[in-house]
């Protein structure tokens, strides 16, 4: 039990809340309402296991780097609260559960699984090679809504599937944007370790500016989704709330003042994901 708690702490399982509502968003928009109970359960399992797989593997890949970083040196692997062998076992189990969920959902989700797994595993190494690592992470998380859409619709490559692609890139820029903010606290460390990030290459001010542009793109893509799906006034009120939350998030963080970064990263983004899902869900149900 202690090892399980340490594993869940290691991967910050509670942060699944960031991406899970977007998976549900793709689900309810594809179903134009409620999916079947089985679809809901397997999509939830797929999302949770995919995030566990990605985060667990990321912690393994970065364990030596994290040990040298004062901010991450007290994580469970680094302090010995959990063994590498246990984390490997957790990653393998997560992969097997994800494969089972994809198989249960649809032939298309099973066919798309290898590509999704490739992103879930490879993004852990992206910062070693490119400053685009923030958006590779965002794209990986963006696979959640398009995967849920594929599970319901059984397609993602027709013109009617365009809303799913808008959601994918909305999440790409949303996650990429707040990862840019989060990376600002490791600017000096990343430079010393020769790791690639926007803050390390161009500084915190440039990173925060790019985060603002990314979040403007997020809003534009969510607006496009609403127009394509003919969502009603409740959805647009949700978009307005998201805009306010994003503005507040950016007001919390300054290039030379990151003291409120955790509030911006954890609290505000949790509110954003839940707000847009609830607004879209109500809009679809009422319509």
Among the residues of 129-195, which ranges form H helices? 133-153, 162-183, 187-192
Residue 152 pLDDT greater than 70, yes or no: yes
Stretch (H or E) spanning 85? helix 84-105
| Percent of the chain surpassing pLDDT 70 | 93
**Is it the case that residue 14 has pLDDT exceeding 70?**
no
Average pLDDT rounded to a whole number, residues 103-130 = 95
Predicted model pTM: 0.93
Mean pLDDT across 224-246: 96
Could you identify the residue written with the tokens 């004062």?
70
Q: Considering its fold, how many domains does the chain have in total? A: 1
Looking at every residue in the chain, the average pLDDT score rounds to 91
Radius of gyration of the chain, Cα coordinates, nearest whole angstrom = 19
Q: Do residues 61 and 124 make contact, with C-beta atoms less than 8 angstroms apart?
A: yes
Q: Band of the pLDDT at 169, cuts 50, 70, 90?
A: very high
Q: Is the pLDDT of residue 13 over 60?
A: no
Residue 120 belongs to a domain with what CATH number? 1.10.357.140
Confidence of residue 81 (pLDDT cuts 50, 70, 90): confident
Rounded Cα–Cα distance for residues 174 and 256 (Å): 22
User: 254 to each of 72, 188, 207, 223, 241, how far by Cα in Å?
Assistant: 22, 16, 11, 28, 22
- d(C-alpha 116, C-alpha 109), whole Å: 10
Task: Determine what percent of the chain is predicted with pLDDT higher than 90.
Answer: 76
- Model pLDDT, residue 8: 56
pLDDT score for 2: 64
CB 58 within 8 A of CB 50: no
Sign of the dihedral through C-alpha 169, 143, 62, 6: positive
Q: Is pLDDT above 90 for 158? A: yes
The range of the structural domain enclosing residue 205 comes to 2-286
- Answer whether residue 83 shows pLDDT above 90: no
């Amino acid at each position: 039990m202690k090892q399980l708690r340490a594993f869940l702490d290691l991967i910050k399982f509670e942060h699944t809340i960031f991406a899970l509502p977007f998976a549900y968003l793709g689900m309810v928009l594809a179903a134009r309402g409620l999916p079947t109970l089985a679809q809901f359960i397997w999509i939830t399992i797929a999302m949770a296991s995919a995030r566990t797989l990605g985060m667990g593997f990321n912690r393994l890949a970065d364990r030596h780097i994290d040990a040298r970083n004062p901010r991450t040196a007290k994580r469970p692997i680094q302090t010995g609260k959990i063994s590498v062998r246990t984390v490997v076992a957790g990653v393998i189990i997560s992969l097997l559960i994800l494969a089972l969920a994809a198989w249960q959902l649809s032939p298309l989700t099973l066919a798309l699984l290898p590509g999704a797994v490739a992103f879930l595993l490879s993004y852990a190494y992206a910062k070693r090679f490119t400053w685009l690592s923030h958006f590779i992470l965002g794209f990986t998380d963006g696979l959640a809504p398009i995967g849920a859409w594929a599970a319901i619709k059984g397609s993602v490559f027709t013109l009617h599937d365009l809303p799913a692609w808008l959601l994918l890139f909305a999440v790409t820029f949303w996650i990429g944007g707040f990862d840019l903010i989060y990376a600002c606290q490791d600017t000096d460390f990343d430079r010393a370790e020769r790791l690639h990030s926007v803050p390390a290459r161009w500084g915190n001010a440039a990173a925060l500016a790019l985060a603002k542009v990314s979040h403007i793109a997020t809003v534009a893509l969510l607006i496009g989704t609403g127009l394509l799906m003919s969502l009603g006034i409740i959805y647009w009120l949700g978009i307005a709330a998201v805009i306010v939350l994003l503005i507040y998030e950016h007001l919390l963080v300054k290039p030379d003042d990151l003291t409120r970064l955790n509030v911006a990263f954890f609290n505000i983004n949790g509110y954003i994901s839940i707000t847009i899902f609830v607004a879209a869900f109500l809009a679809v149900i009422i319509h």
